[in-house]
Amino acid sequence: MAGTIRLEVVTPEKAVVNEAAKIVVAPGTLGEFGVLPGHTTFLTTLKTGTIRYTDADGKDRYVFVSAGFAEALPDQVTVLAESAERRRDIDVERAKAALQRAEQRLVEDRAKQQLDFTRAKAALERALQRIHLAETR
């Protein structure tokens, strides 16, 4: 299709997205970036967040990603993510339970002074991003 690029979002377990898009906006570690057809080639790391894209029919779509890499080519964007879920596939109750576990771990570890801050912060961020995406309409 003219005027579109191929978006592929894959994890070690599965392919999450493989479709044509008019624009892709992703959460780069140095800031959010957008890719349109004909974009210059680049490779970047991603932070936990939401990929937004407009499909070939003009409908806005959303995908949660938990870190990874993105490669932009003039006709394709490939995302290799640790985990990824389409908005419609997010289990909000599971994400809220994960948020509670992460918050509890922060409290317990701080009291014991055994805090693995990086892991706890990452778990907290993943849960918050999933809940935000799933509950935003």
* Euclidean distance between CA atoms 36 and 22, whole angstroms: 7
Q: Which of 52, 80, 81, 76 is nearest to 65 (CA)?
A: 81
pTM for the model: 0.78
Is 62 within 8 Å of 133 (Cβ atoms)? yes
Name the class of domain 5-87.
mainly beta
Q: How many helices (H) and strands (E) does the chain have?
A: 2, 7
* Euclidean distance between CA atoms 82 and 77, whole angstroms: 16
User: pLDDT: is 54 or 101 the higher one?
Assistant: 54
Question: DSSP 3-state assignment of 113?
Answer: coil
H or E stretch at 120: helix 117-135
pLDDT tens by residue, 83-125: 999 989 888 898 889 888 888 877 776 666 655 667 777 888 8
User: pLDDT: is 115 or 69 the higher one?
Assistant: 69
Asked if residue 1 has pLDDT above 60, the reply is: no
User: pLDDT: is 110 or 128 the higher one?
Assistant: 128
Domain boundaries along the sequence of the chain: 5-87, 90-135
* Residue 2's pLDDT band (cuts 50, 70, 90): low
User: pLDDT: is 105 or 79 the higher one?
Assistant: 79
